[in-house]
């Protein structure tokens, strides 16, 4: 039973690894429309001279807001743990 499971895991892992190595790399992709659109139209669409900033805060704005939410949640979590821990110890 154990040997069969090990063999199944090995087959799945090997096939996934083979799939990763057989897919074309990023450099050889023919479809680069999104990236070239950001590079060509980013300045006039957003008015930001920093292309990274324009992608981070404009084209992918909701993603960055999620990152800020992660940091906010971390601060709230540390606050909760410390305050309730101090209260319980006293």
Partner 1 sequence: MDIIIRTVVKGLFPFIVLFGVYILFHGHLTPGGSFPGGIIIASGIALLMLSFGLSKAERTIKEKTAHMTEAFAALLLVSIVLFETFVRSVLRPTGTIFELWSAQQILFLNVTGGVMVSMAVILILFLLMKE
Q: Phi first, then psi: give them for residue 45, nearest 5 degrees.
A: -75, -40
Nearer to partner 1, 27 or 86 (CB): 86
Task: Name the strand (E) or helix (H) holding 68.
Answer: helix 61-89
The radius of gyration computed from the CA coordinates of the chain, to the nearest angstrom, equals: 24
Segment contacting partner 1 (CB under 8 A): 6-14, 15-23, 28-36, 60-68?
60-68
Q: Which residues bind partner 1 (CB under 8 A)?
A: 43, 46-50, 52-54, 56-58, 61-62, 64-65, 67-68, 71-72, 74-75, 78-79, 82, 85-86
């Amino acid at each position: 039973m154990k040997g069969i499971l090990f063999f199944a895991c090995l087959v799945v892992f090997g096939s996934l690894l083979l799939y990763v190595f057989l897919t074309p790399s990023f450099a050889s992709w023919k479809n680069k429309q999104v990236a070239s659109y950001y590079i060509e139209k980013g300045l006039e669409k957003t008015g930001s001279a920093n292309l990274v900033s324009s992608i981070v805060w404009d084209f992918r704005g909701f993603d960055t807001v999620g990152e800020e939410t992660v940091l906010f949640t971390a601060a709230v979590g540390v606050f909760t743990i410390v305050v309730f821990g101090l209260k319980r110890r006293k």
